[in-house]
Amino acid sequence: MSGSSRHGSVRPPAAAGRRPGTGGRSGAAGQSGTGQSGTGGRRASGGGNGHGNVAVDADKVAGLLTPVASALDMDLEGVRITAAGRRRLLRIVVDADGGVSLHDIALVSRELSAVLDDSAVMGEQPYTLEVSSPGVDRPLTERRHWRRAIGRLVVAPLTAEPSDGDAAETTAGTTVEGRVTGATADGITIDVAGESRRFGYGDLGPGKIKVEFAPIDAVTGDEGADGEDLDDEGADEEGSDGY
């Protein structure tokens, strides 16, 4: 399950003449959704917006928040800071083995907000914290990404001769498409057209999960010539990926 949570609040100024700081302890967990892809961001963004605000270093934000996510057995996958009028929007993407639930999103949101409240890393401009899980369009670039894609249909460019030594139909520059069946410290196993193939992590470029939809008859049920439903029991069942 994936989803997002938005938090945002403004602390009163600590002293006369000082601009109010910001925090994110207030707010409620967001509704479920498709999640958001990791930005790969951990790069500085945001910057001034015409109000004399100092740019925020996304790398420093990531360095501050990564241990918080790790303590909750999650990985910080992306940090992006953008201007939204007189406020900033801080987007954080987290993931974990087995995925993250709405409860996980709400929990990590509170913990990240508390740390940000006690830090000056976001400066004094008001901001909104948004925490979400990755969407299916997040590129598979890290070993943990491939591990979490086991069972999913993926497509990836081949950048080198595959580790299994079979270069037929899979020379560098071609595309590999199949279902991930395993991922170890050494590489990935993908079922390509019914054949189990082994690839090193350096053999493949950024992978992409392909969205799979259940056949129409699996959702509505097969109908006979007289219009009767022949498969009522399976009509509402979801596929293994929840689609």
Average pLDDT per block of 10 residues along the chain, 243 residues long = 49 32 35 33 36 77 97 96 91 95 96 95 93 93 95 93 56 85 95 95 94 70 48 41 35
The pLDDT score that the predictor gives to residue 66 is 97
Separation between Cα atoms, residue 147 and residue 190, nearest integer Å: 12
What pLDDT shows up at residue 221?
Answer: 55
Phi, psi torsion values for 182, nearest 5 degrees: -170, 155
Domain range 143-209, CATH class:
mainly beta
> Which alpha helices (H) appear in the chain, and where do they start and end?
58-71, 102-117, 143-147, 216-220
What is residue 80's predicted lDDT score, i.e. its pLDDT?
A: 95
pLDDT of residue 45: 36
What is the C-alpha to C-alpha distance for residues 115 and 66, in angstroms, rounded to an integer?
A: 11
Structural contact between residues 139 and 35, judged by C-beta atoms closer than 8 angstroms: no
**Ramachandran angles phi, psi of 61, nearest 5°:** -65, -45
What residues contact 16, with CB distance under 8 A and at least 6 apart?
Answer: none
List the one residue out of 5, 22, 27, 45 whose CA is nearest residue 115: 22
Confidence (pLDDT) at 213? 84
pTM over 0.85: no
CA–CA dist 157, 203 (Å, integer): 9
| Residue 102: predicted pLDDT | 95
Per-residue model confidence (pLDDT) at position 22: 37
From the number of C-beta atoms within 10 Å of its C-beta (0-12, 13-18, 19+), residue 230 rates as: exposed
Residue 133 is predicted with a pLDDT of 95
3-class SS of residue 39: coil
Which pLDDT score, from 0 to 100, does residue 235 have? 39
Residues of the chain with CATH 2.30.30.100: 143-209
